[in-house]
Amino acid sequence: MKISEALEIVGNLANWHLNSMGINPKTLPKIDYSLDQMIKANKIVENYDKRQMVKPGRRTMHVTLDDRLIAAQYVAMNFTADYCNQAEPKSGVNGKLVFVLCSTE
């Protein structure tokens, strides 16, 4: 995976997270990546940023996400229930992200 693709994937995931807190209210892209793609993209961006830290002068650092948040986003975006429209990320207590999931029970 190229860094440009990894940055796009991680950026899309970060925008969903920020939007859930009301920080980035804009049209959000559909998240249709596999869990493996999302985690690999995040690692690529993390490693890219680490390599940038050793360079002198001005550099750009990127937002990366905890693997648990990526997994939670994947579950929320792929969860379906019989009587529920969607699983939505919501801002929770102490800035933690909470996903509201519907149950068929």
Does residue 105 form part of some domain? no
pLDDT in tens, the chain (105 residues): 999 999 999 998 888 878 777 776 667 777 789 999 999 999 999 999 988 888 788 888 888 998 888 888 887 777 655 555 545 555 554 555 555 555 444
Domain span at 74: 3-100
Does residue 42 form part of some domain? yes
Q: Note the pLDDT of residue 45.
A: 95
- For the chain, how many structural domains are there in total? 1
User: pTM score, two decimals?
Assistant: 0.70
Q: How many secondary structure helices (H) and strands (E) does the chain include? A: 3, 2
Q: Note the pLDDT of residue 95.
A: 53
Q: Where are the alpha helices (DSSP H) in 26-93?
A: 35-53, 67-78
Does residue 90 form part of some domain? yes
